Amino acid sequence: MPVASVSLTNLPGTEAATGRAGSHCIIVDRPEGKAGGMGLGFNGAQLLALAIGGCFCNDLRYIAHRRGLGIASLAVRVDLSLEGDPLIATGADLAVRCTLEDGSDPGPLIDEARESSMVGCSLPRGIPVSVGQGV
């Protein structure tokens, strides 16, 4: 079974973290003035929204390539609803604007991506999250 692994370590001189996956990195932080945050990077809600939208964009492109279609332009906005204390994500709405190079209707691609997006399909089913000590 495939496993996707990332690591996070403190960013020296800050209370932010650097997240790494292979040769890629990203800064994770809280908004400036919130619990030591300096606004240096994305917060958890933004990262979750990016995971939802990014996975959808990638899947849309996989499907287009499989069907021999070119995507001329693609824009996706994700609105992640949050509520409660502790704050939890309660829903995500995606708005998709896609234009295909051949001018055909992108609706079938969008529908298939919605049905097959790994992140978009995993979240409604829920996944267990375990937390332990040691790295």
CA 13/CA 35 separation, integer angstroms: 15
Q: What is the DSSP code (8-state) at residue 30?
A: P
- pTM, full prediction: 0.91
CATH H superfamily, domain 43-127? K homology (KH) domain (3.30.300.20)
Give pLDDT tens digits for 73-109.
999 999 999 999 999 999 999 999 999 999 999 999 9
Give the pLDDT band of residue 1 (cuts 50, 70, 90): confident
Residue 26: name the closest of 5, 47, 12, 45 by CA.
Answer: 47
- Confidence grade of residue 128 (pLDDT, cut at 50, 70, 90): confident
pLDDT digits (tens, 9 = 90+) for 14-36: 999 999 999 999 999 999 999 99
Domain boundaries, the chain: 1-42, 43-127
Q: pLDDT at residue 135 above 80?
A: no
Helices (H), the chain: 44-66, 107-116, 118-125
